[in-house]
Each structure stands twice: as C-alpha cells, then as structure tokens.
Structure 1
Amino acid sequence: MIALKKLIKNSSLALVAGLLLMGSTAQAQDAVAGKAIFEGNCTACHSLDADVVGPALKDVHKRRGDEWLTKFIKNSQELVQAGDKDAVAVYEKFNKVPMPAFGTSLSDDDVANVIAFIKAESEKPAEVVAEAPATPATDAGATATAAEAEVAFMDLPPVLLFTFALAAVIILLTILVLVMMFRLFVPMLGDSIYDEDFRSSFAGRVLFLVRGDATLVTGKAKNEIHSNHDFDGIQEYDNDLPPWWKAMFYVSIVFAIGYMLHFHVFKTGALQTEEYEMEMEEAALIASKNVDDPNAVTNYEVLTEAAALESGKALFNTNCAACHGQEGQGTVGPNLTDEYWLHGGDVNAIFKTVKYGVPAKGMVPWQGKLTKDQMLEVSSYILSLQGTNPAGAKEPQGEKM
C-alpha cells in the first residue's frame, strides 16, 4: 500500500514537471515566433528600452495587461476614439502619430506571440557593461584636455606675476607724480592761468577741463552773430564746433580714403559678396568631409538594376511598410506613389530623408541601421513606385514635383 502511494506521488510530480516543461517550451517557441513578427512589423517605430516613434515596450505587459495590448495592437485608433485613457495618453504623448492597425494583417496567435516576445525580452537581466580603464595621464587626449583647462591667475609663473606687479606699480607712480606736479605748479601760476593766451592753449584747456570747464570738449561759445543774415528772426552765432565732432569728421575722411584705396582701387580687400562666396565654399568643403552633415551635397544616381530594386523592395517591406503601406500607398506616413513630396522628390532628397529621418513627424533616422547602399536601394525603389496608383492610396501631401 505504501509502495502504491509512493508510486502515485512520484507519478504526480513527474506529470506536473512535464506540464511545466511543456509550458515553458511552448512559451519559448511563442517568443521565437514573436521575435520574427516584431522585427518585421514593429522595430521601425518601437524599441524595448527607449522611446522612438512609439513608447519603449519593456515591461509594457505589466503596465497595461495582455488584453489591452491585444486590442491596441489590432486597432489602436479604435481605443483612442472610444476614450480609453491609456490609449489617449499614448496618442497625445507621441505627437498624435497613429499606430497602424494590425487586426487584418496579424492573427490572434501572431499578436500573442509578439506579447510573449516582449515578456521574454523584458525578463532578461540587464547586460553588465564593463567600465573602460582610465586613460593614462600621458595620453594625447588627456594632454589636450589639460591644455584647454583654465589656469588661475595666482598659478601663473612667478616671473609673469612679478611683471604684472611691476607694471601696476609704475602706472600708480606715474599717476601720483602727475597729481603732485599738478598740485605744485598750478598754484605757482597764480592768476596768469586766466590769461586768454594760456586759457586758449591746449594745456590751459586741459587744466580748466579738470576744473570743470568743458570748453576743450564743446568748443568756445563766442555769443557773436555770425552775419547779418536773418531767417524769419532766426540768427546764427559764430560759435566753435565741438572739437570731438571735428576730430571724428577728420578721422572719417581719412578712413573713407583708405577704404576706397583698399577695396576699390588696389583691390587688396574682399567685399561682402566675395567674403560670402568664400565662406560658402569653405562651408561646402567642410560639409563634404563630414558624412553626417545633413547639409552635405550628395550626387547619387537612381539605381535601375533589377537586383538593386528587388533588394530595395525587401528593405522597404521590412522597415517602411508599417507606416507607408506594402505598396507605398501611405498609412501613418504619406503616400509615396504620387507626384507630391514633403521633403523633396529626387533620389538625393529621399536618401537624406531616409538617412536623417523627420523626428518631428515620427519618421525615424535609418543611419546606423541601414548602410549607405541599402538606403540608396530603398530610395531608388520608392522612386520606382511613382504612378503605380495602388488601391486606397492616401491623399496627396506636400508640393508637386
């Protein structure tokens, strides 16, 4: 009897273990299938760890639940229009970019597999990133950083500090000597400083300027009528022009002559138009060396080979169809089969849009994910869709090219 109980107990444990093993195996298989579906339909707009066009999906099943996720994947706009607060919050947060409805393209099992994949990826432990060893002090980068660091005034070499101190002492002594001479010699002049000859001299003007007389700056007011001309009772006095005004006038004449000779006679200087053209040439040279500059000039030609277009079609279906439709008819993104373009319709403009994206409109940049050749293949394939007029095409957007 005891042996029979042990046998039943052991059998039960084996059955439970077998069921758990089968469940975990089935879940692993669902996650594998879900990964392929996720990469084919979701990676263009979603990442597990970071917000892209849509939100980061790590642990989203814990925040929302499987039932809500299934409804949102099948038709997100249906939930938004129904007033679901979570769906509306996501829609508002991500610039009201609608998520494509996958209710017709994915089965219930496909959606469940995608959710299983998200769960499996969310439960994976975070990868430990080894810290890079500290850069030795003798490294060139460290030397450049040290050279760029600001040096405090008191940390300057002693010789330089002594030079500054000596210069300050000399300036201070010069000021003291001038003040002492002024205080010594002015009283010795007595009333002679008021003589017209001395007062009209430069030294006299400086002296009286210090004492509050601004004649050196404003000129002398003679209070004498300039002539017998009478303009409706208005008469003109023969006063001096302010010396500062006359000095600036003479300086401007000299400057104008030098400017004319430098720029228009000898042509040793570049005018504004020439400077602009030279700066634009320099900017173009710099941009041509920087492959990541969105303003760099490109001169790609449209690919017409069948193999290149077939490769571009495969890349388009994998990465672009989720937002532009399998036939380029436009869903979340614009229609790519008509003559209207938002960001330019030649192969170079399309290449730049694919490479750098339009983050404000939800278009992600594909540089780093696709190679230059792949982006050119996709761009060429998009141009091959012109005039195909697929069913259900989205209305034109942008300018006609």
Structure 2
Amino acid sequence: MSPLKNLIAKSGLALAAGLLLAGSPAVQAQDAVAGKAVFDANCAVCHSIDANVVGPALKNVHERRGDEWLVKFVQNSQELVQAGDKDAVEVFEKFNKMPMPAFGTSLSEDEIKNVIAYIKDESSKPAAAAEVAPVAEATDATATPPAAQAEVDFLDLPPVLLYTFLLAALIILLTALVLVMMFRLFIPMLGESIYDEDFRSSFAGRVLFLLKGDATVMTGKAKDKIHSTHDFDGIQEYDNDLPPWWKALFYVTIIFAVGYMLHYHVFKTGALQDEEYEMEMQEAAVFAANNADDPNAVTDYEVLTEAAALESGKSIYNTNCAACHGTEGQGTVGPNLTDEYWLHGGDVNEIFKTIKYGVPAKGMVPWQGKLTKDQILEVSSYILSLQGTNPANAKEPQGDKE
C-alpha cells in the first residue's frame, strides 16, 4: 500500500502544480480585466496606451520604470517629485508641470497593480495601425490621389502663352517708339510757337511740357505776388495758385460726397454700417451652422434642470471629469467648479465650448468626438448645479468672478 500511496501523493502534487500553472495566465488575464475597469474610470481622461494626451503614453511603461516605481507614482506622484526622483521630475517637467492626482487614498495597491497588468496586456498587443495597414494600402491603390498644385516656371508655360506675351511686349515697345518719333518730328516743325501761352495752356501743350520736364501743370504757377495784408511778424504770404492736382482731387471729393449722400441717405440704395453688420452676422451664422467644429460659432443653449438630465450629467462627470476636478467639483489638478470664479466663462454656452474644444495649453483635452452634444450639455448643466455647494477642501478661486 505504501508504494500506491506514494504514487497517489506524487500524482496529486503534479496535478495541483499543473492546475496552478494552467491557471496562472487566467489569473493574469482576470487582473487585466479588472485593471481596465479601474483605468477607464480613473486614468483614461489623461492617458492613452499609444499616444501622449495630458500625460504620457503608457505603452511599455512597466519596462522603462518598473512595477514598484509605478505603484508609488500612482499613489502620490508629487511626493516623488518633491523627493527629487529623477524619473518623476522628468515626467513632471515634460508635461507642463501638470500634477497627477494622488490615488493613494482612492485606489488600493491591488487595484493599481491590476492597472499595471492591464497596461502590460495592452502593450503586448500589436499596434492597431499595423493591423489595418494592408487595408489602407489596398484602398490607396484604388483611390485617385488628389492633384498636387505645383508652381510652374515662366519659361515652362505653353508656347502659345509665351508667344502672346512676346507679341504684347513688342506692340508696347513699338507704340512707345512711334510716339517718340512723332514728338521728334513734329515739335521742331512747331518752332517757337510751342512757347505761346495759348498752346501751353492747351491739353497738348500741357502734355508736351510735362514730358519736357515742366511740372507747372501739376504744381501751378508761382506768381511771386505778396498779399498786401498778409504780413505777420515779418512773415509774408505769396498769392500763388494751388497745385492743379490738389484742386482736381478736391472737386472729385465734392462730387463723391454728393453721390454718397444720394446713394445712401436719399435713395437708400446702399446698406449703412448697421445694415452691413447685421448682414455679416447672418452670413456668419449660416457659416457656423454649416461648420459644426467652428469654435466661434454662436450657441444659445439653455441650462437643463430636469432631474434625469442632471443625473446623466453627474454620471458623465464622475466618469470623465472627477479625476481632475474632484468628485464634488472642489478642484484637484483642474480648477474649483463650485465657486463664482471662472477661467473661461461661467455661462452654460461658455462651459459647453470649454468642454467641447478643451484647453490643450493647460492640459484639458477636447471632448468633442468622445461625448455627444447632448452629453456635453448635460454635464455643463450639472457643473452649474454645483454652484455654491462649498465642498470640503475646495481649491482656491481662479479666474474672474461672474
């Protein structure tokens, strides 16, 4: 019986070891599943596996830092930074000195290790881009690429255009030569008569003498006649003509003013500034309606007050916003949402735009594409419902008072 007992004992141990080894991957997989739930609830707002968001990409972070360091960093990152930990300081400096919320009081060590297990599991998966690459290549092969607009040198233009430009240049040159020859032929024939006052005051005479360098036609004549009564402290005034170009421009402004008054104020065939402004605002509204992603689009949302909408907004807030603004809106990494001070406006439409387009410079990601318009309006209304709740440990006011 003794050999039989030994055989049974050895077989039991082997079976137990086999079950343990066989169950190990399942346990790890279970940890990753639990870690995904924790990650989605607390970390997905600021982190992605493959891309930098508010914080760094987490792919293979366990290989760069180690599990023990990651647990400490998640529990209280600022404690490591203040202690001078090289890696913690590097991450803090690289990502705009945005402090990561301390999860040491809200997450257990096992939950943090489950998150690390999830990161390891995701890091071991092939990149999504590599999986869809063949499909993209096939699509590109059948698609017609858009024509690129390349600059064309002048000499590379079609010959017809080059000949046209050359012919136009020759015509201009020949016209100039003919005019010069005519002046050289006919002016000597006129002799001294070109200096007669009648000829000089004519249009042809003015043009001729302007070409000869006489600018009187533009500046007027200097009479050198002193006003008898315009003498002050030894300063005298000459009674010279105003420049003809100035007088012509003055007459043009008078004609323009009469036409302007008739057009805008008498016949009312033109739009005044107020009307132009209203038309431009209507055009802008049409443009904004056709472009849903225009951050300057005018919105006129009203605050939601229904209990169902506010409850939905609270659920969205707890899932996506509480990590940075606190579960009660008291502010942690992000500002306090319960006081009367706002960095980007406290109207429901201003809050809606802040959530939709984010504030990337300050670490807030845009939520368009992740939340629908109705969801953004619900969470905006819920945030406004937190006004005056005065939660404990509220962050100091930031921004302007509304």
SS at match of 1:236: strand
Q: Report the Cα distance in structure 1 between the residues aligned to 2:346 and 2:237, rounded to whole angstroms.
A: 72
Shift of 1:274: 2.4
Q: Report the Cα distance in structure 1 between the residues aligned to 2:262 and 2:370, rounded to whole angstroms.
A: 58
Shift of 1:78: 0.6
The 1:184/1:12 distance shift into structure 2, 3 A limit, reads farther
The 1:211/1:384 distance shift into structure 2, 3 A limit, reads closer
Q: 2:271 aligns to what?
A: 270
- Matched letter for residue 300 of structure 1: Y
Shift of 1:252: 1.6
Shift of 1:395: 2.5
SS at match of 1:235: strand
Of the candidates 133, 137, 150, which is equivalent to residue 140 of structure 2?
133
SS at match of 2:40: helix
User: Size of the alignment, in residue pairs?
Assistant: 385
The 1:154/1:271 distance shift into structure 2, 3 A limit, reads farther
Q: Report the Cα distance in structure 1 between the residues aligned to 2:341 and 2:224, rounded to whole angstroms.
A: 78
The 1:396/1:19 distance shift into structure 2, 3 A limit, reads same
Shift of 1:161: 6.3
Bigger drift between 49-58 and 376-385 goes to 376-385
Shift of 1:76: 0.7
Q: 1:25 aligns to what?
A: 26
- Matched letter for residue 212 of structure 1: G
Q: 1:338 aligns to what?
A: 339
SS at match of 2:53: coil
Shift of 1:220: 1.9
Unaligned runs of 5+ in 2: 1-11
Deviation per CA, 1:128-184: give whole Å up to 9, x if none.
2322235666xxx95xx68x8777767878777666555444333222211111111
SS at match of 2:270: coil
Q: Percent identity?
A: 77
The 1:340/1:191 distance shift into structure 2, 3 A limit, reads closer
The 1:203/1:400 distance shift into structure 2, 3 A limit, reads closer
Residues 1:91 and 2:98 aligned together: no
The within-5 A match list for 1:74-89 is 74-89=75-90
Q: Report the Cα distance in structure 1 between the residues aligned to 2:279 and 2:376, rounded to whole angstroms.
A: 33
Q: 2:372 aligns to what?
A: 371
Deviation per CA, 1:18-74: give whole Å up to 9, x if none.
766444333322222211111110001111122211111112222222222121111
The 1:34/1:203 distance shift into structure 2, 3 A limit, reads same
- Matched letter for residue 187 of structure 2: V
Name the Cα RMSD after superposition.
3.1
Unaligned runs of 5+ in 1: 1-10
SS at match of 1:133: helix
The within-5 A match list for 1:46-61 is 46-61=47-62
Q: Report the Cα distance in structure 2 between the residues aligned to 1:108 and 1:124, rounded to whole angstroms.
A: 25
- Matched letter for residue 284 of structure 2: A
Q: Report the Cα distance in structure 2 between the residues aligned to 1:150 and 1:332, rounded to whole angstroms.
A: 50
Q: Report the Cα distance in structure 1 between the residues aligned to 2:198 and 2:341, rounded to whole angstroms.
A: 86
Shift of 1:277: 2.4
Q: 1:34 aligns to what?
A: 35
Q: Report the Cα distance in structure 2 between the residues aligned to 1:197 and 1:375, rounded to whole angstroms.
A: 84
TM-score by length of 1: 0.84
The within-5 A match list for 1:2-401 is 21-127=22-128, 128=130, 129=133, 130-131=135-136, 132-134=139-141, 165-227=166-228, 229-401=230-402
Q: Report the Cα distance in structure 2 between the residues aligned to 1:42 and 1:302, rounded to whole angstroms.
A: 29
Bigger drift between 155-164 and 38-47 goes to 155-164
Bigger drift between 240-249 and 100-109 goes to 240-249
Q: Report the Cα distance in structure 2 between the residues aligned to 1:356 and 1:290, rounded to whole angstroms.
A: 14
Bigger drift between 346-355 and 19-28 goes to 19-28
The 1:301/1:272 distance shift into structure 2, 3 A limit, reads closer
